[in-house]
Amino acid sequence: MPTVRGTAKSVAYEDLKRAILTMERQPGSPLEESELCDRYGLSRTPLREVLQLLSGEGYVTLQLNRGARVSDMTHYTLRDFFLAAPLIYSAILRLAAQNATPAQITELKDAQEAFRTALTSGDVTDRALTNDQFHRITGHMAGNSYLQASLDRLLIDHTRIAMTFFRPNSGAKEDRLELACRQHDEMIAAIENGDEERAAELALEHWALSRDQIELFVMPAGLEAPLGAPPKQKSA
Amino acid sequence: MPTVRGTAKSVAYEDLKRAILTMERQPGSPLEESELCDRYGLSRTPLREVLQLLSGEGYVTLQLNRGARVSDMTHYTLRDFFLAAPLIYSAILRLAAQNATPAQITELKDAQEAFRTALTSGDVTDRALTNDQFHRITGHMAGNSYLQASLDRLLIDHTRIAMTFFRPNSGAKEDRLELACRQHDEMIAAIENGDEERAAELALEHWALSRDQIELFVMPAGLEAPLGAPPKQKSA
DNA sequence: GTTGACCTGCTTGTATACAATATGAATACA
DNA sequence: TGTATTCATATTGTATACAAGCAGGTCAAC
């Protein structure tokens, strides 16, 4: 879908995506055309097309006569996120279990390998990006363009949020990362066995783990969560 | 989100959207830049930006060095559609019931008024477009950007498909349109009362009606449905 | 008669020059 | 001293000229 263009342009496209996902470019920060032209060695026309493309995918927000900014994350964003995530993640993983091809399963295993390596290496951005990649592949497996539109947007913000709690200084949370990693393994197994129920279940468990981390980060004092309950699931 | 631009550009943007939704421009048909430049009185640069924008929203597909085409609809598309629609529509309507503002409810009532008029006037494109507009407003009410991404894509194809069965020559289907219209009324009531359960239920009923029409159209001879069974409904 | 390469024309991709709009500072006035 | 207005500057939006890539047809060779 992203229609990866000729090299010069695709470098800009990929690097901007990376920089936004890793919070190297912070939510809401402006993206000046001239700066990006210099950085990537493009003229304004193709660079603007990259920004349009990123805008369509939700990485960037365009404002008339005011240029582009990194899409921001407010507490409203987070509220929407908490509502949509369990719904979409479980649906995606269910479909992934139904439709995954052997080639995609291999790809997913490779991504998991990379994630595991990133966990031991301790590099924050590697952890976030390899985790992101893992979940994007499940999206490809599901192969549903409608749901993928939501998944892609969820992953943008999920990865940005994750950048905060993938930090190694979190201390006691290392075991949680290990649990997340094991859940990935179980997901692969469920997908490989075509066990859609288990896959959907794992998606929800995985989300619950992630959600707890996010809540701890957003509400460190242990406040109650008034941000909105996720809709009831019909998962058996 | 669409960042509606200065008039000249927004005319092109809106008119292309309309032409695609009404199947005036058929799925897969090429969109030549020079033709569109002449038609809308734009130079190529801003016109290309419009196409990029439409691409990001799923109306148009861009291919490297091969220009733009109207996004096509295959039976794969339809299969994905059947899977995603009940999930998203019910979630959207549930959230709409939770979050709708009085202003939005007024807007929705106006849209319903327009839809009812279109049903009696008998113009096919009016029926499809006013129905589309009704459902897009429910999307705004839900106010969840993640789910809205899926809804927007669903509505593109739903409206295009609907163009086939909103035709007045369908004979006995007029009463079904009347039923759809009454369901809209009930949706408005449920949203106004904040009755999210009923709203979600209505979304599924409304979808079931639409699904039956689609199945009749796709498999006119009464064939069995091999395109993928829709997920189990919990509609009462 | 078929197949292959080449060449012409057209469409798309890129760069740059020009126009329009917004931002911020300086100044005049209350 | 505070506020409003004006002007200068910078950034974005648009048009056009140029380069690159693809498509179709012709011609030649097998």
Question: What's B210's domain CATH number?
Answer: 1.20.120.530
Instruction: Kindly state the percentage of chain A with pLDDT values over 90.
Output: 76
Query: Which residues of chain A lie closer than 8 angstroms to B95, CB-CB?
Result: 83
Q: Residue A189 CA to nucleotide D28 C1', Å? A: 61
CA A109 to chain centre: 18
Q: Which residues of chain B have pLDDT under 50?
A: 1-5, 222-236
Q: Residue A229 corresponds to which tokens in the numbers above? A: 């309950």
Whether residue B149 is found in the same domain as residue B170: yes
Q: What is the mean pLDDT of residues A130-159?
A: 98
* Residue B2 domain-assigned (yes or no): no
Are B3 and A231 a contacting pair at CB < 8 A?
no
Whether residue A113 is found in the same domain as residue A214: yes
Average pLDDT score, chain A: 89
Whether residue B94 is found in the same domain as residue B143: yes
Which pLDDT does position A1 carry in this prediction?
Answer: 43
Q: Residue A65 CA to nucleotide C30 C1', Å? A: 34
Domain coverage including residue A49: 7-70
Residue A226 has pLDDT above 70, yes or no: no
* Residue B116 domain-assigned (yes or no): yes
Listed residue (B141, B160, B126, B149) closest to B203, CA to CA? B141
Nucleotides of C strand lying within 7 Å of any protein CB atom? 11-17, 21-23
Whether residue A206 is found in the same domain as residue A119: yes
* Residue B103 domain-assigned (yes or no): yes
Nearest CA in chain A to B50: A52
Secondary element (H or E) of residue B61: strand B60-63
Q: How far is CA A42 from CA A52, B16, B62, B231, in A?
A: 15, 29, 20, 47
Q: Residue A69 CA to nucleotide D10 C1', Å? A: 17
Pairing of strands B30-31, B67-70: antiparallel
Number of domains in chain B: 2
Whether residue A42 is found in the same domain as residue A86: no
Whether residue A32 is found in the same domain as residue A104: no
Which pLDDT does position A169 carry in this prediction?
Answer: 63
Which pLDDT does position A170 carry in this prediction?
Answer: 55
pLDDT in tens, A180-223: 999 999 999 999 999 999 999 999 999 999 999 888 877 655 44
Whether residue B29 is found in the same domain as residue B99: no
Which pLDDT does position B205 carry in this prediction?
Answer: 98
Listed residue (A119, A202, A200) closest to A166, CA to CA? A119
pLDDT in tens, B161-202: 998 777 766 555 788 899 999 999 999 999 999 999 999 999
Whether residue A128 is found in the same domain as residue A23: no
Return chain B residues 39..58 having CB < 7 Å to nucleic acid strand D: 42-46, 49
Which pLDDT does position B91 carry in this prediction?
Answer: 98
Q: Name which of A55, A56, A84 is nearest B147 (Cβ-Cβ).
A: A84
Q: Residue A96 corresponds to which tokens in the numbers above? A: 């992934």
* Residue B223 domain-assigned (yes or no): no
Whether residue B130 is found in the same domain as residue B159: yes
DSSP A101: -
Whether residue B63 is found in the same domain as residue B79: no
Are A145 and B77 a contacting pair at CB < 8 A?
yes
Q: Which of A17-21, A77-81, A215-219, B109-113 has the weakest average pLDDT? A: A215-219
* Residue A224 domain-assigned (yes or no): no
Q: What is the mean pLDDT of residues A79-108?
A: 97
Which pLDDT does position B236 carry in this prediction?
Answer: 31
CB atoms under 10 Å from CB of B159, counted, come to 22
Whether residue A89 is found in the same domain as residue A19: no
Contact B183, B205 (CB under 8 A): yes
Q: Residue B233 CA to nucleotide C27 C1', Å? A: 71
The pTM assigned to this predicted structure is: 0.89
Are B144 and A48 a contacting pair at CB < 8 A?
no
Query: Which residues of chain A lie closer than 8 angstroms to B146, CB-CB?
Result: 80-81, 84-85, 88, 150, 153-154
Q: Indicate the residue among B23, B47, B70 that finishes a domain.
A: B70
Return chain A residues 84..123 having CB < 7 Å to nucleic acid strand D: none
Nucleotide with C1' nearest the B8 CA: D14
Q: What is the mean pLDDT of residues A142-160?
A: 97
* Residue A230 domain-assigned (yes or no): no
* Residue B48 domain-assigned (yes or no): yes
Residue A231 has pLDDT above 90, yes or no: no
